[in-house]
Each structure stands twice: as C-alpha cells, then as structure tokens.
Amino acid sequence: MDLRDSPEEARFRAQLCAWLEENIPADPEPAMLAERWPYMRDFQQRLYRSGWIALSYPTQVGGQGLGPMEEAILSEELGRANAPTLLPLGHLGRPLLRYGTDEQRRRYLPPLLASDEIWCQGFSEPEAGSDLASLQTRAVRESGAWVLNGHKTWTSYGAFADFCLLLARTDPDVPRHRGISAFIVPLRTPGVTVRPIVLANGDEEFAEIFLDDVRIPEANMLGRPSDGWRIAMDVVNYERGAVETGYLPKFERYLFELAAVARTRAREPDRATLLALGEVAAALEVLRMHCLRTLSDRVSGAPPGPESSIDKLLMTAVEQKLTALSLGLLTAATTPGRAEWFDRYLYGRAGSIYGGTAQIQRNILAERLLGLPRSPG
C-alpha cells in the first residue's frame, strides 16, 4: 500500500506544522513531574481545543472523525517538533469506545479526550504483575452497587487521576482469566485511598490505590461481567503499539541529537562511535518498517493484536541502545544535556517492564504468533 501523503493528508500535515510552530511552548519541559504535569496538560488541552487530538475518534464523543493516517501524521509531527510529552489517552479511550454503553461513551469520552478528566489504569497488584490473571481485588454485587476491595500498585499518574479503569475478580469459581471484570472507578469515591509512590528522583509518577468497601453504581462496569480479560488485552495492545504511542519520531530526533554530539566531539568520530550510531540507526529502521506495516493494518481496519509485542520489543531495544550510547558520548558530568540524557537512560530501563515485561512479550510471540508450545509449569 502507498503510505505517502495524499494531497488532503499533505494539506493536513502543513496546517498541523503551522499550528505547532505557533504553539509549542517556548519554555523547556520541566524536569520534575509536579511542574511538568500542568505544562503537559495545558499543551494537550490547547491541542484538543484546536482540533488536533483525538483525531480518529468519532465526532459524537468529541473526536475529529478522521483515520489512522492522520493519527500517524500527528505523532510524527509532534515528535519532529519536540512537542511536550502527551498524557496517555489512546489505550484507555479505545476500550471505552469499544466496550462502553452509549451512556458511558457520552459521559466519559469527551472529558477524557479533552484532558479535562484524567484516567489511570488499575491492573497491577503487589502479587499480580506478569501473571495478571492472579489478581485478588474483588468486586461483589450488593443491592444495586458493586462493592470493591483490594490493592492496586504501580498506577501511572494515579495521584493526578480522576478515574481508574480497574480490573477486579467478580467470579472466583471459574478459571482465573474468565472471572475478571472491568470497572470505571471514580477515585473520589469514599473508601478509595490513593498513596503516591515517590521515585528515587522525587517524582510521584506512580501511586498505590487501596479500595476498602468502595461502592460504585452497577452501571460502572465496562462491558459485561467477565469481559475484563478481553478488555485488558485491548488496553495493553494499544499501550504496546509503536504507531499508537508515537515513539518512533521521538527516537529519530534523539538519534540526530546524538549524531550531532558525536560530530562536535571530533571532526571524524571514532570507529566505535560510528558503529554504535549505525547499530541504533539500523534498529530504528527496522522499527520504522514495522510501524509502516502496522499502519497499513490500521488503515485496513485491523485493531492491534498480539503482534504489538513485536513493537514493544523493538521500541525498547531502540530506546535502551540510544540512551546507553548517550552516556558513552556525553561523558563529562558537566556536558550540557547530560542530565536530561541520564534521565532518559533511567526511564528507558522501564521500557522492558511496563505494559508487560520483555520476557512476557517474548512468551506472547512464541505462543500466540509462532504457535510454540507453552513451557511446562
């Protein structure tokens, strides 16, 4: 398929670039989340108000009614323009669109897409990460309400969120994957305690969420009872996809930054540096080709599936290679930009954990795409 811009897409790209040139904040993105959060939210709200976000969502729920090509152009141009990081939307918005009732879509999607209400993802628990199906949080139906009890952890942006898309066990008597349901939990409900987890750098990016007899209306279930596993797999497939997350243009920009650093260090960079840069460039090219294949799947209407584990592995490899290379190039602690690259390096380590670890992605590839037998035990 020809993925070059059609005349309408080229026009769309040009208008977007003009908007970005006018609207990218002049001040750099603050390093600490407490200041970065309002900065990110403000930019995202302006994008939304100008019609540049939620492009492929239907207009009835606040989207622009466009398609995956426009979404891909948006993510390319945001990356190229070094725009502020966006708050995660797609992986939580898509399941609401797909499984939500009309009433749920009308109530929750417009403010989610506008970043007026913030959502988080309550899947992991202290004893349920890779083995998510072992989650222990319970939801029991009681006189017209669901009553939730349990403990979630590693919830990204939990301390800033208004709602949580949360998984809980509703039927303990069936095989583990089948007894799980998904819920829309307003975090200001009595019985919910959100406790931020402070990272080594002082950021409060994660939170633990404690649920003690939390009563939510029956209508707050997303999908039907026991749809939880299917919904969770949709969420993670969107979360893992390179086209969905728009990391490719960001990594391209990083590579150019590093090549520029290598050039300023020496007129003729040494062989080891050239080889390392070449290795990253090759890995990035593989990721780009894979993204083009994924984009053509999206254009032909296929939603993300288990092949998004390939995206996740390729993205993580590129990010970790790039950021490790940066530490070799920006050796002196006082080199301008080193602190930022060091943060990127540390955050890059998380790439092989969030959204399912690298080992879990390989298991998915082996079992679901290659059809290899499950390992015993």
Residues known to be catalytic: 239
Residue 81 is given by DSSP the state T
Nearer to ligand FAD, 114 or 133 (CB): 133
In the complex, minimum distance from the CB of residue 114 to ligand FAD, in angstroms, rounded to a whole number: 21
Q: Rounded distance, CA 125 to CA 153, Å?
A: 5
Residue number with the smallest Cβ distance to ligand FAD: 129
In the complex, minimum distance from the CB of residue 360 to ligand FAD, in angstroms, rounded to a whole number: 6
In the complex, minimum distance from the CB of residue 347 to ligand FAD, in angstroms, rounded to a whole number: 8
In the complex, minimum distance from the CB of residue 75 to ligand FAD, in angstroms, rounded to a whole number: 20
3-state SS of 1-66 is: CCCCCCHHHHHHHHHHHHHHHHHCCCCCCCCCHHHHHHHHHHHHHHHHHCCCCCCCCCHHHCCCCC
Nearer to ligand FAD, 294 or 316 (CB): 316
Nearer to ligand FAD, 129 or 191 (CB): 129
Q: Which of 65, 126, 74 minimizes the C-alpha distance to 97?
A: 65
Residue 183: beta bridge partners?
166, 221
In the complex, minimum distance from the CB of residue 31 to ligand FAD, in angstroms, rounded to a whole number: 17
| Residues within the interface to ligand FAD (CB under 6 A) | 120-124, 129-130, 154-156, 350, 353-354, 356-357, 359-360, 363
Nearer to ligand FAD, 17 or 353 (CB): 353
In the complex, minimum distance from the CB of residue 196 to ligand FAD, in angstroms, rounded to a whole number: 13
Q: Which of 92, 108, 12, 87 minimizes the C-alpha distance to 44?
A: 87
Nearer to ligand FAD, 77 or 234 (CB): 234
* Contacts by residues 12-16 (CB-CB < 8 Å, ≥ 24 positions apart): 12/70, 12/73, 13/73, 13/77, 16/52, 16/73, 16/74, 16/77
Q: Which tokens hold the place of 339?
A: 């602190």
In the complex, minimum distance from the CB of residue 312 to ligand FAD, in angstroms, rounded to a whole number: 12
Nearer to ligand FAD, 52 or 183 (CB): 183
Q: Phi/psi zone of residue 293: left (φ > 0), alpha (ψ -120 to 50 degrees), beta?
A: alpha
Residue 180: beta bridge partners?
169
Q: Any idea which residue has 């035990």 for tokens?
A: 377
Nearer to ligand FAD, 14 or 350 (CB): 350
Q: Any idea which residue has 């492929």 for tokens?
A: 56
148 contacts: CB under 8 Å, gap ≥ 6 = 137, 138, 139, 166, 168, 183, 185, 191, 211, 213, 214, 215, 216
